[in-house]
């Protein structure tokens, strides 16, 4: 009788109480093998758990690119919350942005069972900045995008959009290539590396409070001083065979991992 009651309770439990499906998220067929090989450097489970990802959350990923983290987040949130992907706009002036969005949409369309619940929003500051309905997101995450937002002169606008999308008490989780010292804004844009204090100050100016920092994605081998910036390192290896072995030995970039909170809970 107890087992029958337990089964009935399990069937009645709300989606928000379902356990996160880490097995599928990390080892499911949706994971591209090249993407999966990067787990050793990007630590997706440890990173998302540090941010506080839990059952039933509404999660927004800003600038998801080719969908590296989408492969992980979509199965975690499917039927157990909501996942917004704030990608480029169809109205973006450059072909790169539209092509990137097109490839991302093709990726989702190839597996409608897994990705059918993903909500796509379009991000093109200052015209389009609604990542999700205002005040609805429990968590917003962004991975290695701050330098790109700076190049587009959109850092403040995007941080403001993130703040607007979050509920009071909501979390903004950020991973970014970390500069080894003080560098100019132009060097940040060119190299992809940004000093931690610059990121923290920008987030504070947008209304966030720093809740915690982690060294989950640190790499002490990375000097953050390479001829092609962060793209000298894998997986880009923009320099081709020049010093390839040295860059492979360094591995992926040294990264800050920051957890911010929107005050007011």
Q: What is the DSSP letter of 138?
A: E
What is the pTM for the complete model shown? 0.92
CA–CA distance, 258 with 208 (Å, rounded to integer): 11
15-220+254-261: CATH homologous superfamily? Vaccinia Virus protein VP39 (3.40.50.150)
pLDDT at 58: 98
Q: For residue 263, which of 203, 214, 198 has the smallest C-alpha distance?
A: 203
CB 257 within 8 Å of CB 217: yes
- Which SS3 state, helix, strand or coil, does residue 65 take? coil
Mean pLDDT for each 10-residue chunk of the chain (265 residues)? 35 53 96 96 98 98 97 96 94 84 96 96 94 98 97 97 98 98 96 98 98 98 97 97 97 98 90
Structural domain boundaries in the chain: 15-220+254-261
pLDDT at 93: 80
pLDDT at 92: 81
Question: What does the DSSP assignment read for 210-221?
Answer: EEEEE-TT--TT
For 258, what's the count of Cα atoms within 13 Å in the CB-facing half-sphere?
27
């Amino acid at each position: 009788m107890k087992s029958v009651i337990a089964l009935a309770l399990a069937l009645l439990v709300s989606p928000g109480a379902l356990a996160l499906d880490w097995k599928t998220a990390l080892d499911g067929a949706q994971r591209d093998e090249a993407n999966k090989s990067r787990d050793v450097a990007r630590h997706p489970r440890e990173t998302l758990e540090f941010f506080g990802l839990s059952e039933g959350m509404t999660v927004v990923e800003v600038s998801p690119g080719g969908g590296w983290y989408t492969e992980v987040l979509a199965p975690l949130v499917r039927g157990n919350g909501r996942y917004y992907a704030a990608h480029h706009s169809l109205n973006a002036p450059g072909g790169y942005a539209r092509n990137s969005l097109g490839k991302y949409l093709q990726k989702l369309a190839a597996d409608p069972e897994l990705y059918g619940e993903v909500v796509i929003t379009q991000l093109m500051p200052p015209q389009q900045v609604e990542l999700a309905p205002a005040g609805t997101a429990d968590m917003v995450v962004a991975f290695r995008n701050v330098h790109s937002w700076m190049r587009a002169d959109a850092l403040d606008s995007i941080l403001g959009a993130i703040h607007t999308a979050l509920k009071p008490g909501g979390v903004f989780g950020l991973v970014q290539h970390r500069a080894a010292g003080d560098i100019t804004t132009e060097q940040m844009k060119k190299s992809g590396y940004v000093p931690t204090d610059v990121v923290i100050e920008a987030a504070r100016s947008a209304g966030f409070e720093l809740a915690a920092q982690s060294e989950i994605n640190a790499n002490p081998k990375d000097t953050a001083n390479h001829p092609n910036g962060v793209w000298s390192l894998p997986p880009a290896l923009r320099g081709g065979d020049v010093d390839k072995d040295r860059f492979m030995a360094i591995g992926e970039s040294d990264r800050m991992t920051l957890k911010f909170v929107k005050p007011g809970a």
